[in-house]
Chain A
Amino acid sequence: MGRVIVITSGKGGVGKTTSVANLGTGLAMLGRRVVMVDADIGLRNLDVVLGLENRIVYDLVDVAEGNCRMRQALIKDKRYDHLFLLPAAQTKDKSAVTPEQMRQICRELAEEFDYVLVDSPAGIEQGFRNAIAGAQEAIIVTTPEVAAVRDADRIIGLLDSFGLRQPKLVLNRIRPDMVRKGDMMDIEDVVEILAIPILGVIPDDEAIIISTNRGEPAVLDQSCRAGLAYRNIVRRLEGEEVPLMNLQEAQGLLALVKRLVGMGGR
């Protein structure tokens, strides 16, 4: 049986979908069989982040309603033939799927895949409940801002009440320059406040936006910091002990590399 992991947050737009795309692709890079489930019904996004938007025929709701078989709805990734996407329905609303149907779908997928990564919608409503229904583990994404951390805390409490104890934290969009000036909370600050284990830190990196434009997750790009950060998280998911990236150091070096690459006409 594979691991079913939900990637969630309280506040919207903090990087859940980006994280699912990068972690899914990163795990596939290591040869793992992975399926990413877009549970953000009505706001389908994961397909475009992965560059798979033209291949969708059936979706999650079709599977739940029995309009098609699971196999027919799964979309194979462009790069890895053991990486799949189960897209969200774009037309239906959040209540088109029930938690029980989600549990069933996740169970079925976990029999075939090493990892089932569920992309959750933001918030604490029905869509969130569906997304977590089939999961045994949870990853909470937040940025180092007051509102995002507050909402993350609320989600930790909610997950606990649904039996998902010990969620892990991904701190996204850290800006080392602001941390250095004392204008952004650092890893230790957020970990101290939320009091859950940290799985990884992703720097704020324009490479994320560029790679999303292209539909190619940054984790594939060996030269960007965010990609390295996601590869580190993947190794930690696999049980390896990988120290957290030293963002302060990485900055100076990367600024240099970027300048060099920039001259090459990137």
Chain B
Amino acid sequence: MFDFLSRYKYNEREGHSKDVAKERLQLVLIHDRTSVTPELLNVLREEIMAVIERYMEIDYQGLEIAVERSTGRRAALVANVPIRRVKTGQK
């Protein structure tokens, strides 16, 4: 059995090496393509939050902002902003 596994270089935990390659590529290419630095993402996060906070109370624990792969060669800025409560008296 061990022989079989080593011959096929299939790693139980990590799966087929081509899937690992594909996943790593997809991740690295998002950054190659958009050149969004972590600093830029931080600035963006703060400014976007400032706008949203005028209208809503946000759960900062669950907040996520990231550049992800979209259709084709496009990347997408994806934000997940959990709302605690909508502020009343705001238009």
- Which positions in A face B, CB cutoff 8 Å? 145-146, 149-150, 153-154, 156-157, 179, 181-186, 189, 193-196
Contacts and interface: CB of A to CB of B under 8 A. Distances in A.
A153 B32 contact: yes
Nearest to B29: A153
Looking at chain A's contact residues, the main secondary structure is: helix
B2 interface: no
Interface stretch (B19-27, B47-55, B57-65, B82-90): B19-27
22 contacts: A146-B21, A146-B24, A149-B25, A150-B28, A150-B29, A153-B29, A157-B32, A181-B9, A181-B16, A182-B10, A183-B9, A183-B16, A183-B18, A184-B18, A185-B18, A185-B21, A185-B22, A189-B18, A193-B26, A194-B73, A195-B72, A195-B73
B18 A182 contact: yes
B53 to A, nearest CB: 36
B25 A193 contact: yes
Nearest to B7: A181
A150 B25 CA distance: 7
A183 B17 contact: yes
A189 B24 CA distance: 12
Nearest to B33: A157
A179 B73 CA distance: 24
Contacts of A149: 25
Nearest to A185: B18
A146 B16 contact: no
Given A149-B25, A150-B28, A193-B25, A182 B17 contact: yes
A186 to B, nearest CB: 7
A194 to B, nearest CB: 8
Interface of B: 8-10, 15-19, 21-22, 24-26, 28-29, 32-33, 72-73
Nearest to B28: A150
- Could you tell me the dominant secondary structure of chain B's interface residues? helix
Closest 10 A-B residue pairs measured CB to CB? A182-B16, A195-B72, A195-B73, A185-B18, A183-B17, A146-B21, A189-B22, A182-B18, A153-B29, A181-B8
A156 B17 CA distance: 25
Contacts of B10: 181-182
Nearest to A183: B17
B81 to A, nearest CB: 29
Given A181-B8, A186-B18, 12 more contacts: A146-B21, A146-B24, A150-B28, A154-B32, A156-B73, A157-B33, A179-B18, A182-B10, A183-B8, A185-B18, A193-B26, A195-B73
A247 to B, nearest CB: 15
Contacts of A145: 21
Contacts of B73: 156, 194-196
Contacts of B28: 150
A193 B22 contact: yes
A181 B5 CA distance: 11
A261 B85 CA distance: 77
B3 to A, nearest CB: 15
Contacts of A195: 72-73
A157 B33 CA distance: 8
A181 B19 CA distance: 11
Contacts of B72: 195
